[in-house]
């Protein structure tokens, strides 16, 4: 890259602050989420909102529930998962011009919403269940089709030649009709485009989907290197448990780009599924109006910060963020003094999750890594049923969802 191209995407008047930020990154030792980035690179979204990117196309989420063949069902779960990647890791880049640093959720922060389309009603609950380490738990369900997804994740960020992020945690997709579970591990990622000031996410290494019906999918991610390679490339194989290294046992292969299009072929090489990320319609997520939201809900809690970010007003951004952080610190001190812990609204911590322990064995070097997520977090149906306003106007709908 020539010197004239460096910083080309940085707004006029902001190049010095961006250069300072890059230098700070290079010498930083600690949790990168605590760093203060230039105002124009900050997102107006909290990480609790990111859980919604699992289900912006509900019809793909519920499609496996209508397939009676377990092998084909596993393939449809793979297709759905691959379809979520652009939404989870690149859709914000397209909308905002470059990847933005999300707001760090506070303990107890909530994000609630739903999708209404031909798949029926699909509901979402996302909650920040831990602050040290920062962990977001979520549950997404569609009662009509008997499909529910729940999981939790934390991110471990470090800086080498770029920002590297290892995602810790998992998701489990359950299909009632077949009493079937699909364990999903999370891909690692890194941030490209730092020099030009136009950051974007690139996935790397591998992730897995392990089904209780006996099938495993491995997804490999690669990107554009200095010499060769294409941006956002994926290659996946689906095979019976324990047959990862046997080419003759591969049942399906998926190839293409997770931000463009990919195809899934069967063992004979015939195309069985296609997906075009640029053409697939998305269903709009419905969220309560700000004034109707509980103070713990993301968009209401962060509204003043978000408004200041949109105005590129760093002073107000910092001041409003500090108010939230100071309030949280005072709550933690009071809890410590009273000898109690923050009561989670929708999730609970468990010592063991048998289905996780069973399926994670099919993942090379797999483990629950609960020591890095403050425990194993599960959606608590009793808490959901007993949730009362003012936590959310969706409480009654939550009761109906189970």
* pLDDT in the model for residue 393: 42
Q: Which residue has the higher pLDDT, 60 or 37?
A: 60
Task: Provide the terminal-to-terminal Cα distance of the chain, rounded to the nearest Å.
Answer: 54
Closest to 102 (Cα-Cα) out of 7, 9, 35, 186: 35
* pLDDT in the model for residue 42: 79
* Rounded CA separation 173/210 (Å): 10
Q: Which residue has the higher pLDDT, 369 or 393?
A: 369
Q: Which two tokens stand for residue 254?
A: 């998926």
* pLDDT in the model for residue 33: 59
* Rounded CA separation 277/229 (Å): 20
What pairs with residue 265 in β-bridges? 253, 271
Is it the case that residue 41 has pLDDT exceeding 90?
no
Greatest mean pLDDT among 53-62, 241-250, 305-314, 384-393: 53-62
Is it the case that residue 36 has pLDDT exceeding 70?
no
Residue 133: cis peptide before it, omega within 30 degrees of 0: yes
* pLDDT in the model for residue 78: 98
Q: What is the pLDDT of residues 271-304, one digit of tens each?
A: 999 999 999 999 999 999 999 899 999 999 999 9
- How does the average pLDDT of the chain come out, rounded? 87
* pLDDT in the model for residue 389: 56
The model's pTM is: 0.89
Is it the case that residue 106 has pLDDT exceeding 80?
yes
- CB within 8 Å of 383: residues ≥ 6 apart: 344, 345, 346, 347, 348
Fold of 12-68+88-199+286-402: Alpha-Beta Plaits (3.30.70)
Is it the case that residue 400 has pLDDT exceeding 50?
no
Which three-class secondary structure string do you get for 195-250? CCCCCEEEEEEEEEEEECCCEEEEEEEECCCCCCCCCCEEEEEEEECCCCCCHHHC
**Candidate from 16-25, 40-49, 327-336, 341-350 with smallest mean pLDDT:** 16-25
Is it the case that residue 53 has pLDDT exceeding 60?
yes
């Amino acid at each position: 890259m020539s010197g004239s191209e460096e910083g080309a995407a940085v707004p006029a008047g902001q190049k010095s602050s961006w250069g300072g930020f890059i230098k700070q990154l290079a010498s930083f030792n600690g949790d990168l989420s605590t760093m203060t980035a230039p105002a124009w690179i900050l997102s107006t979204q909290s990480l609790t909102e990111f859980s919604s990117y699992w289900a912006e196309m509900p019809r793909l989420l519920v499609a496996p529930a209508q397939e009676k063949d377990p092998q084909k069902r596993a393939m449809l779960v793979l297709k759905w998962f691959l379809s979520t990647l652009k939404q989870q890791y690149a859709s914000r880049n397209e909308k905002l011009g470059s990847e933005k640093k999300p707001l760090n959720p506070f303990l107890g922060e909530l994000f609630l919403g739903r999708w209404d389309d031909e798949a029926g009603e699909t509901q979402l609950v996302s909650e920040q269940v831990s602050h040290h380490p920062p962990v977001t738990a979520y549950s997404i369900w569609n009662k009509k089709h008997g499909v529910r997804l729940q999981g939790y994740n934390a991110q471990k960020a470090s800086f080498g030649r770029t920002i590297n992020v290892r995602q810790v945690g998992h998701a489990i997709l359950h299909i009632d009709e077949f009493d079937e579970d699909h364990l999903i591990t999370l891909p690692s990622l890194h941030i490209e485009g730092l020099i030009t000031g136009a950051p974007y996410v690139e996935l790397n290494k591998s992730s897995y989907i392990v089904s209780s019906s006996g099938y495993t999918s491995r997804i490999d991610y690669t990107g554009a290197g200095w010499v060769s390679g294409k941006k956002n490339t994926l290659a996946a194989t689906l095979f019976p448990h324990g047959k990862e290294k046997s080419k003759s046992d591969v049942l399906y292969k998926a190839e293409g780009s997770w931000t463009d299009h990919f195809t899934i072929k069967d063992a004979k090489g015939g195309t069985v599924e296609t997906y075009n990320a640029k053409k697939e319609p998305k269903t709009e997520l419905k969220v309560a109006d700000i004034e109707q939201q509980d103070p713990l809900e993301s968009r209401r809690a962060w509204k003043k910060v978000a408004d200041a970010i949109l105005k590129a007003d760093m002073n107000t951004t910092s001041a409003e963020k500090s108010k939230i952080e100071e309030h949280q610190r005072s709550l933690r001190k009071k809890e410590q003094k009273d000898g109690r812990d923050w009561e989670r609204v929708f999730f609970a911590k468990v010592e063991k999750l048998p289905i996780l322990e069973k399926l994670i064995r099919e993942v090379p070097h797999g483990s629950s890594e609960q020591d890095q997520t403050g425990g194993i977090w599960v959606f608590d149906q009793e808490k959901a049923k007993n949730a009362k306003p003012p936590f959310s106007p969706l409480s009654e709908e939550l009761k109906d969802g189970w």
